[in-house]
Amino acid sequence: MRKPEWLRTRLPSGPEFETVNARLKQHGLHTVCSSARCPNLADCWNRGTATFMILGDTCTRHCRFCSVATGNPHGAVDETEPKRVAQAVAELGLRYVVLTSVDRDDLADLGAGIFAKTVRQVKLQTANCKLQTGRPPTPDPQPLVPLLELLTPDFGGRDALIEQVADAGPDVFGHNLETVERLSPNVRDPRASYRRSLEVLATVKRLAPKMTTKSGLMVGLGETDDEIRRAMSDLRTVGCDIVTVGQYLQPDRHCLSVERYATPEEFVALEQEALAMGFRAAFCGPLVRSSFHAEEVAKWPSAQVVK
């Protein structure tokens, strides 16, 4: 299927893109922007933002919508990664940071420990960096540390692991539902499930009631409008605060094909329905991804839909 005009994006370029790219290479870091071939890479990096992908670049699961490499890391963990991520965040002066990861079913804690360490290191390094600048306070001082959003795997649905990550103090705890219940077994790895993802979000709210939770959905995989509405309703039932809905784009020929392209007008209608359901914020648009313009989505009320 030929992509419609509203899905065209430009190739990565520009000074901010080069700066972010160079810093990531210097610290040996991965981003989901590159690994998942995100169509918004140029836009986000030119605004000086990036979604850091921790725990390596090899996922133990194989979801059919994703182009991230699949394999078995055999328990390999780089204990220096949390500090290197924190240093890059501090050096780039980011005000909003998204941390995500591959699935690591090969680890006893499924990666929860590195998630928690990275959150704490980012807070520590950025606070120290800004405190050492010696700059006088301004009438409207900026926070010493950036806001932190997580986009996590399901941690096997284990309460203790979810609690370990939540206790590190992220500002937003995100976990994606990805698709509607009927399509989930075909779209996602068999070890993931629609109901488990809902349980993860419910667990975060039970353990940390004041923490903001977030989830994302894709359209274009063969779902119906009613199924999307049901998925959003299910997210509200478990207390999810923010929802994103974007167009699925086939990242490579080995992934699922696009069944249809939703129009910008359809996304506007979905956003309005989401807000009517009670979400604090909704961000729906053809190029929307779970971490795209995340800093805007975290500001109530809803951000503008991407055209």
| Stated pTM of the model | 0.85
Calculate what percentage of the chain has a pLDDT beyond 90: 61
Distance (Å, whole) CA 236 – CA 258: 27
> In Å, how far are 37, 176, 184, 202 from 154, measured between CA atoms?
22, 9, 14, 12
- Residue range 220-229: average pLDDT? 97
- At 1-17, the pLDDT tens digits run 678 877 766 655 566 66
Residue 102 pLDDT > 70: yes
The answer to whether residue 94 scores a pLDDT higher than 80 is no
Task: State the greatest distance between any 2 C-alpha atoms of the chain, in Å, as a whole number.
Answer: 56
53-84 burial, b for 16+ CB within 10 Å, e for fewer? bbbbbbbbbbbebbebeeeebeeebeeebbbb
Mind listing the pLDDT tens digit for each residue in 110-165?
999 999 999 999 999 877 654 443 334 444 445 456 789 999 999 999 999 999 99
Question: Which domains are assigned to the chain?
Answer: 11-297 (3.20.20.70)
Q: What is the pLDDT of residue 13?
A: 56
